Structures are given as C-alpha cells and as structure tokens.
Amino acid sequence: MKIAVVILNWNGKQLLEQFVPSVITYSQEADIYVADNASTDDSVNLLKQQFPQVHIIQNEVNGGYAKGYNDALKHIEADVFCLLNSDIEVTQNWLTPIIEEFQSNSNTAIIQPKILDFKKKSHFEYAGAAGGFIDKYAYPFCRGRIFDTIEEDKGQYDDTKTIFWASGACFFIRKSTFESLKGFDETYFAHFEEIDLCWRAFNAGFSTKYIGTSTVYHVGGATLSALHPKKTYLNFRNSLFTITKNADGFLFGIIFIRLVLDGIAGIKFLLSLKFGHFLAIFKAHFSFYANLNHLLKKRKQLPKKKNYYKTKSIVWSYFIRKRSIY
C-alpha cells in the first residue's frame, strides 16, 4: 500500500522547521510532500535546503485548506493520502495501525488517529480528539472534547471505533474515495470541509474510523486562532452549508432551529462585548442566505441522505443537562 503524507503550508516556515523532522523520522513507509499555498515567506527554500527528501508541490494561489489540497493531490500517485497539518508532531509507528486497518477492511475509507495536545500532552486536543460526531443541528463534538471541555487521556479511547467525521488536522483517506467524492468543497476555504467530506462519504456508504493505537500531537490554532472572528465566521457559515447539503429529515425545520441557536450564541457574544464574533455570526448567516439556492441545487446532486446524528442536541446535553464527557 502506497501512502503519501501531504502537509499543506502557507507561510509556515517555523512550523515546517519544527515538525517536519518527526514526520521524516517516523514515516519511513510513506512518501512525504509539502503542498505550498503560494507562500511569501522562505518556506520553499527551507525545504529545499534542509529537507531535500521532501517532495514539493507549489500551488499557484492560496486557496485555503480545501482548494489547496484539491489542487495538490491531483499531482500525487498513492493508494492513501494522509492530509497532515503543519503543526503536528507524529510518533513512532504511528502509520502501522492505520495501514493495517486499510488493508484488512476494504470499506474503511477515512481514518483519524488519536490527537493529543502538543502543549499539554496528557490531554486530548480540541480539533478531533478521539473521533468526531455531530448532532441533529450540525454542531460537532468529539470523544474527548465537547465544546470547551477537554478530557485527559487515560487510555479510555485506545480503541478502534466507527466515527462520523475525522479531523482535518490528521486525515487519512483512500485516493479512490477522495476522487469519487470529487474532493473538498472549495467554497469552504477552511473549517468544516472535512466534516462535509465525511458526511458525503457516510451518505455514499463509506466508513470512517478512529484508530486509538496511533497517536499524534497537535498545536492547534497555528494558522488561525480560535479568538479570531474569521474563524467564527467560517465555522458558523460552513456548518450551515454542510447541513443544507447533507442532512436527512425535514431540512427547513432543522435549519430554523439551528438559526435560532446561532442567534443565541450571537447574543452571548454581544453581552460579552465580543463584537467581532457577533458580527461574524451575522455575516455568516447572510452568506448562507446568499448561497442557499446554490446549496439546494448541490443537495439534489448528492447521494440519498441517511440518519446521521448520535444525539439530538449536544447544546441541550452540555449546557442544560451539564453532560460534559462523551
């Protein structure tokens, strides 16, 4: 099985210098690529000088995560792609259980390893933790992380489990699956595009797995901080895009409740004097309305929808019932 580890980079010279060595050391089974999203720093020269064994793909524009990977993966021949954030430290034998799962289960199309926090290695990391799920209103949560509650890793998720979505921070996918799903939706730019892809894979009958015997450490927020309003905008807008395209059931009822819940989140930001985040939700909704007709057309073209959610409302469970552990 031929694996390509593909790191997307945009002006991340320092991250490449820090984290590429662990990828080289512990990924002997794979070919390693850096897909550069038209960086203006010295990233490419650094790679050429310090890491000549790394293959470089230079994208013409910075199209974000979605377009960046769509463009780069067209140039790579492999059975499996590993899409790896530039702020990930990998560990010894991290690829072994991943390869074994792909080889033994032909329906496994997407895999995520255990993702721990690079800054606090005893705990899970926000972006993916021990595998993702989603509620009826497209609010994502993970084993090991629900909203801002992060669990300590005590071996409770050292298993192999079918999940709903895998984190884009470390995302394995068969090339054949990626191509059959026509890659990421490039209108997303960044955030939620991996959930959209996993949702489309789920509706098409593919399986997404979490492998807890493979571990990586993620810095998180190295490209765009959680405190940045743009991240709020992309998360709220793209989640609305995703549910419109992929959700089963009475769509407009689901969207209406989701918009109400978003409105409550916006009021909370306003009362906390976080005006940038309040405006980000406002702009996200207007972008959603502007794109609604296009999204509904996409919905008709995608596979038949399936029942997708594990819990009806993670918001109710977390904030009202005070359930903070998966």
* More confidently predicted of 225 and 8: 8
Hey, which residues does 172 pair with through a beta bridge?
A: 82, 111
- Residue 103's contacts (CB-CB under 8 Å, 6 or more residues apart) are 1
- pLDDT band for position 225 (cuts 50, 70, 90): low
- pLDDT band for position 221 (cuts 50, 70, 90): confident
Q: Above 70 in pLDDT, residue 223? A: no
- Reported pTM: 0.96
- pLDDT band for position 119 (cuts 50, 70, 90): very high
State the pLDDT at residue 109: 98
- Residue 47's contacts (CB-CB under 8 Å, 6 or more residues apart) are 16, 20, 34, 54, 56
Beta strands 140-142 and 149-150 are unpaired
Q: List pLDDT tens digits, range 136-190.
A: 999 999 999 999 999 999 999 999 999 999 999 999 999 999 999 999 999 999 8
Please measure the distance between the N-terminal and C-terminal CA atoms of the chain and give it in whole angstroms. Answer: 34
Structural contact between residues 124 and 130, judged by C-beta atoms closer than 8 angstroms: yes
What is the average per-residue pLDDT within 307-311? 91
Q: Above 90 in pLDDT, residue 310? A: no
What is the average per-residue pLDDT within 285-314? 95
- Residue tagged 């790191």 (tokens): 7
Q: List pLDDT tens digits, range 38-92.
A: 999 999 999 999 999 999 999 999 999 999 999 999 999 999 999 999 999 999 9
As a 3-state breakdown, the chain gives helix, strand, coil percent values, each rounded to 5, of 40, 25, 35
Q: Above 70 in pLDDT, residue 33? A: yes
State the pLDDT at residue 226: 64
Kindly report the average pLDDT of the chain as a whole number: 96
State the pLDDT at residue 132: 98
State the pLDDT at residue 256: 97
Domains annotated for the chain, with CATH where assigned, are: 3-218 (3.90.550.10), 229-320 (no CATH)
* More confidently predicted of 224 and 40: 40
CB atoms within 10 A of CB 221: 14
